[in-house]
A = this chain, B = another copy of it.
Amino acid sequence: MALDLLPVVDSAPATCCTPRAEAAITAEDAVALARTLKALADPARLRLLSLIAAHEGGEACVCDLVGPIGLSQPTVSHHMKQLAEAGLVTREKRGVWAYFTIVPGAVSAVSDHLALHLGVATAGT
């Protein structure tokens, strides 16, 4: 679930130089965006994502993550479920192992939505 809640900026392709935000975010969009941000807003999950991104092949199984992050296996599994439900990672079971991969564009979609509704350019413009 919650996989299609953050399409990569489907709205507001219109003007390019507005100094401020396009318009106030709707309550529903705020809930959806907050849900994804909440999945990111935890040190353990940020480190898990970073470990996966830095891992060989861009994928990692739970057993690759438990050691480096210093948390128990159930806790890591719990965090990975959170990330998967937020659409930030995908789970692929190969044999006994469950490999996780970062969903391309998911994080940048969050950045784009923030920039869109908060009137901030993505870089330091």
- Which residues of A are in contact with B by a Cβ distance under 8 Å? 8, 19-25, 27, 30-31, 33-34, 37-38, 40-47, 49-51, 53-54, 58, 68, 102, 104-108, 110-112, 114-115, 117-124
Q: Please report the C-alpha to C-alpha distance between residue A22 and residue B47 in the assembled complex, in whole angstroms.
A: 13
What is the bound-complex CA distance between A119 and B56, given in angstroms?
A: 13
A54 to B21, CA, bound (A): 5
A30 touches B53 (CB 8 A): no
A54 contacts B20, CB within 8 Å?
yes
User: Closest CB-CB distance, A50 to chain B, in whole Å?
Assistant: 4
Query: Which chain B positions have C-beta within 8 A of A117?
Result: 46, 49-50, 53
* Contact across chains for B120 and A40 when beta carbons are under 8 A apart: no
Contact assessment for A122 and B102 in the assembled complex, using a CB-CB cutoff below 8 Å? no
Specify which chain B residues have a CB less than 8 angstroms from the CB of A50 in the assembled complex: 21, 24-25, 30, 117-118
Q: Nearest B residue to A51 by beta-carbon distance?
A: B24
Task: Tell me which of A23, A24, A121 has the highest count of chain B C-beta atoms within 10 A of its own C-beta.
Answer: A24
Measured in the bound complex, the distance between the Cα atoms of B47 and A45 in whole Å is: 25
